[in-house]
Structures are given as structure tokens and as C-alpha cells.
């Protein structure tokens, strides 16, 4: 217990002596909505962790740049050597913050670590599930990576792999991450702040921001006020009602797509006319600029327009309640029980005004004659209804969800959301399974075309779900900075890209 009392006393002292984190000079203060529970580089696919660590402290093998595609980072070149093997040439002259030299052994160790059973690394679970990864170090700056099954998009997948030194433990999460990035991880005062400072030995350009402090406030109004008073410089994820400053608030597509997943296997939702009727029943445009932000796009696919294969020719379903009623009448005439109660499951606190949005959607569906009953759930219960295995006696069900894909490729979405074995798929369609498999295996223009075809098939032919909106996010930026948020701001915030206004 002596240790506990020491902890208590130390915390007491620290809480009274800590210094203020006011924005000043070339230090930048970022106020985040959520505190970091872990600071391990293998968890940077969680947006709150990625915003602090990714490309600031820990760099990835390759880098996905919005609008440009896959770019070199710690790897300078890569080539497909066939049979699922890719060769990556690594950057020379790179050192870790502990002074050790970066080489191929570090990449091999980082890949092994994200797949270890001793800890559950989110990057491994999210991007490398269901595949075997083997590495072969050719020399200090060359590594062969083989995947089974073969991954034609391995260079893209490597944009998620953060590199740690080969001495990093495999058995526990890190509390002081060491990377090759432009900033060192200096200190984490749990509950208060995280500080980073510029790394003198960085291989790239010297950044304008010399240090950064991250603080955490869960209330959007407080975050907005902090930037206004100068206590903070950047506040991502500002709520619509708080984004009232033309000079400081930036809106941008945040890579999130809101949709209603339809359980295609249960009557009456197994009838395509009922699913079409649902799509025609919802007046999507009525939400934009009212309870959702201006700039919100109407969705025709699961991924935002920035992803490859996005099918720009698809039109959102028109708001046509008469058409919806007619489709339901036709289905009823063929013996479909269109009056059966349908449960619409919503997720509380999923995005700003989610409750109002779902109530309006429910009302619109009811107005055309559907017997829809809205139930809103807290995230854990909601997830149990969203992901497989589904309950046998669930009855006809739709689940509202918001899906994030900032990666630029639909592969991270389509299998999970639409394949027969996909964890959150409401569809069982062998043709679609084949389309997804073909697109996943293809490259270049063919890949783009196949994804585009799959989007059209889902939206026009099987009408798998009710696609609603590509969402917009707001970030408040202090006028002393020259920085414009982008779609990547949802998952990372590169301090080295921030300049100071003249």
C-alpha cells in the first residue's frame, strides 16, 4: 500500500504544481474530444490515438495522401514480385528517437507485433485480419513481405503500419512510444495533457511547429471557446451549433457515411420493392442545412467520393412518397406482409443530432405506410445488434450506422458491409461476393472499374440498404495558424504540415 500512498501524494503534488498549457509562440495546443487510453503506435487506427501519434511520433511504411494516393514515407519504393510478395525499399539515414538506426528488421518486427497474440493491436485486427503475413529481410534497406491470400493493395495496407524499433516488447502496450517521426513523445500527464517536441535528428524538413500540447475536453462548446480565447490552436470535431465563426471554423468531408443497414434475409425486407420504397420514402435533402451541416452530401455508396471506384453516375433515390406507396402496394398484392413491424435500431451519440435525424427518418417511413418502430441504443448494445452473429428471433430489422473510410480504397469497407460472410453485412448474394472478390484482387484501372460496378449493383439492382449521407466535420483553427483541415483530419493531424500565419 506504500506505493499507493506515494502515487496519491505524487498526484496531489503534480495537480497543484502543473504548469498551464496556454498557446504560445511556436508551440501548438490541440484540444481533443477524447482522452487517449493508450499511446501505443500499434493502436493508431483509433482516431483519437492516430491524431496524436501517426506521422508525428510514429511514421508508417507508406503514406496515403488525399487526392494523390500512396506516397513514400519510410519506404521509398515498392514492387510486386508475384505470388503475394511485395518488395519494399526503405529510406536510408533515418533514426529513431532513441538514436538507433531504422532498418528492415524494425519493419519486420513492427509487422510481427501488430499480429501478436499477446496484445490485441487494433491495426492488426482492423486491417490484417484473416491473412498470414511473413517477412524476409533482404538487407538493411530491403524487405520482402508476403501475404496469404495475396493482397494487391499491400502498399496501401502498409500505410497503416506504424514502425517501432526492433527491441520493442511484444507482450505489453507502450506508455512511451518511440518512433522515427518529426516529434518525440515527451510526457503524458494522464487526465491533463500530452506533450511532443521537435526531433532534432529527423530525416525530413524541420517543421515550423517546435512543440505541441494536447489537452482533452469532451464538451464541444468548451473546445470552441478554448480556441477563441487563445488557450488552444486547433479543435477538431466541433459540433454544428458551435461552428459559428467564419474566420476560424473549417468544414470538410470527414469520410463518414451514414446509412441504414437492412436485414435483407427477413420478410418483408427480403423484397426489393420494400427496400426501394424505403429509399423513396426519405427526403434526404430536407436534412441538409437544417439538422445536418451545409455541405453534407447525399450518399449513393458506402464510401466517400474520395475513394477509388466511387461511382459518380449514381443518383440518390428521389424523394417520392407516392412511388414508395405504389411499390408497397405491389409487394402487398404479391402476398408480402408490408404491415409487419420493422425495428429500426439507432445508435445514441453517434453524430450530432442523430436522435432528431432518426426520428425524422422513422416518421418519413411511417408516412408511406411502413410499420417502423425506432429504438435507440447505447454503443455496446447497438454493436451487438449491428454485428454478427445476429439473433435468430430478431424479426425484420434495420440498423443505423456511420462508417468511416478515409483510406481511399473501398476494400476496407465492402467485404465487411456487403459480403455474405461480412461481419456487418445484411446481404447474402453470391454474385456480389464474386464482385467484391474480383475487385479486391484487381489493380489499377480494372480495380477502379470493378469497385464502381459493385457500387452500382448494390445501389441500383439489389438495393441492399438505405444510403443516407456523406458527413461533414468542423474543425476550429486559431487565426495565428496557416492550416486547413482535410478528410484525413478525422484520423491524423500532422503537426509538420502546420505553418504560422504571416
What is the torsional sign of CA 301, 307, 313, 319? positive
C-alpha cell at 346: 439507432
Q: 20 or 501: whose CB is closer to other proteins?
A: 20
C-alpha cell at 300: 449513393
Q: 151 or 362: whose CB is closer to other proteins?
A: 151
Q: 36 or 178: whose CB is closer to other proteins?
A: 36
Q: 140 or 221: whose CB is closer to other proteins?
A: 221
Nearest distance in Å: CB 154, other proteins: 18
Omega before residue 149 within 30° of 0, cis: yes
3-state secondary structure 279-324: HHHCCHHHHECCCECCCCEECCCCCCCCCCCCCCCCCCCCCCHHHH
Q: 6 or 26: whose CB is closer to other proteins?
A: 6
Q: 13 or 312: whose CB is closer to other proteins?
A: 13
Contact 447, 418 (CB under 8 A): no
Nearest distance in Å: CB 408, other proteins: 17
Helix (H) or strand (E) holding 99: none
Nearest distance in Å: CB 190, other proteins: 6
Q: 217 or 273: whose CB is closer to other proteins?
A: 217
Q: 128 or 287: whose CB is closer to other proteins?
A: 128
Binding interface with other proteins (CB under 8 A): 1, 4, 7-8, 11-12, 15-16, 18-22, 37-38, 45, 117-120, 122, 124-126, 129-130, 172-173, 175, 190-192, 215-219, 221-222, 225-226, 228-229, 231, 378-381, 383-384, 386-387, 412, 416, 423-424
d(CA 296, CA 289): 8
Nearest distance in Å: CB 301, other proteins: 17
Nearest distance in Å: CB 397, other proteins: 17
Nearest distance in Å: CB 286, other proteins: 29
d(CA 147, CA 426): 28
Report the number of secondary-structure helices (H) and strands (E) in the chain: 13, 19
Nearest distance in Å: CB 417, other proteins: 9
d(CA 169, CA 163): 13
Helix (H) or strand (E) holding 256: strand 249-262
Nearest distance in Å: CB 402, other proteins: 11
d(CA 468, CA 400): 10
- Rounded to an integer, what is the distance from CA 502 to the centroid of its chain? 33
- Rounded to an integer, what is the distance from CA 91 to the centroid of its chain? 28
d(CA 274, CA 301): 19
Amino acid at each position: 500500500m506504500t506505493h499507493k500512498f506515494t502515487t496519491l501524494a505524487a498526484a496531489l503534488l503534480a495537480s497543484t504544481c502543473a504548469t498551464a498549457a496556454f498557446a504560445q509562440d511556436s508551440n501548438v495546443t490541440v484540444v481533443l474530444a477524447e482522452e487517449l487510453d493508450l499511446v501505443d503506435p500499434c493502436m493508431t487506427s483509433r482516431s483519437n490515438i492516430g491524431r496524436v501519434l501517426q506521422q508525428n511520433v510514429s511514421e508508417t511504411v507508406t503514406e496515403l495522401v488525399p487526392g494523390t494516393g500512396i506516397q513514400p514515407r519510410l519506404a521509398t519504393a515498392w514492387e510486386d514480385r508475384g505470388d503475394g510478395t511485395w518488395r519494399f525499399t526503405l529510406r536510408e539515414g533515418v533514426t529513431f528517437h532513441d538514436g538507433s538506426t531504422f532498418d528492415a528488421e524494425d519493419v519486420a518486427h513492427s509487422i510481427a507485433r501488430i499480429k501478436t497474440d499477446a496484445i490485441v493491436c487494433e491495426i492488426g485486427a482492423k486491417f490484417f485480419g484473416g491473412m498470414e503475413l511473413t517477412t524476409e529481410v533482404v538487407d538493411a534497406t530491403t524487405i520482402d513481405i508476403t501475404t496469404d491470400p495475396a493482397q494487391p493493395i499491400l502498399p496501401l495496407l502498409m500505410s497503416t503500419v506504424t514502425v517501432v524499433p526492433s527491441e520493442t516488447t511484444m507482450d505489453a502496450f507502450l506508455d512511451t512510444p518511440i518512433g522515427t517521426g518529426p516529434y518525440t513523445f515527451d510526457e503524458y500527464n494522464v487526465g491533463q495533457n500530452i506533450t511532443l517536441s521537435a526531433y532534432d535528428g529527423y530525416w525530413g524538413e524541420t517543421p515550423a511547429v517546435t512543440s505541441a500540447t494536447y489537452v482533452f475536453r469532451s464538451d464541444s462548446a468548451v473546445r470552441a471557446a478554448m480556441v477563441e480565447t487563445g488557450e488552444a490552436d486547433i479543435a477538431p470535431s466541433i459540433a454544428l451549433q458551435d461552428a459559428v465563426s467564419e474566420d476560424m471554423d473549417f468544414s470538410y468531408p470527414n469520410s463518414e457515411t451514414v446509412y441504414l443497414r437492412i436485414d435483407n434475409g427477413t420478410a418483408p425486407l427480403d423484397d426489393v420493392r420494400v427496400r426501394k420504397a424505403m429509399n423513396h420514402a426519405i427526403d434526404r435533402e430536407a436534412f441538409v442545412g437544417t439538422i445536418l451541416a451545409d455541405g453534407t452530401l447525399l450518399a449513393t455508396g458506402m464510401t466517400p467520393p474520395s475513394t477509388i471506384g466511387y461511382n459518380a453516375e449514381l443518383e440518390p433515390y428521389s424523394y417520392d412518397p407516392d412511388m414508395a406507396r405504389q411499390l408497397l402496394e405491389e409487394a402487398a398484392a404479391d402476398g408480402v406482409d408490408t404491415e409487419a413491424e420493422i425495428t429500426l435500431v439507432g445508435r445514441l451519440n453517434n453524430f450530432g443530432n442523430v436522435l432528431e435525424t432518426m426520428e425524422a427518418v422513422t416518421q418519413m417511413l411511417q408516412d408511406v405506410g411502413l410499420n417502423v418502430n425506432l429504438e435507440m441504443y447505447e454503443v455496446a448494445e447497438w454493436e451487438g445488434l449491428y454485428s454478427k452473429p445476429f439473433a435468430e428471433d430478431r424479426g425484420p430489422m434495420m440498423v443505423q450506422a456511420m462508417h468511416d473510410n478515409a483510406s481511399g480504397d473501398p476494400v476496407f469497407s465492402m467485404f465487411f458491409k456487403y459480403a455474405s460472410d461480412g461481419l456487418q453485412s445484411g446481404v447474402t448474394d453470391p454474385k456480389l461476393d464474386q464482385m467484391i472478390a474480383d475487385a479486391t484482387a484487381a489493380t489499377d484501372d480494372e480495380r477502379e472499374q470493378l469497385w464502381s460496378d459493385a457500387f452500382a449493383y448494390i445501389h441500383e439492382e439489389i438495393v441492399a440498404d438505405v444510403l443516407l449521407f456523406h458527413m461533414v466535420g468542423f474543425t476550429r483553427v486559431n487565426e495565428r495558424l496557416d492550416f486547413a483541415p482535410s478528410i484525413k483530419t478525422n484520423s491524423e493531424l500532422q503537426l509538420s504540415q502546420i505553418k504560422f500565419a504571416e
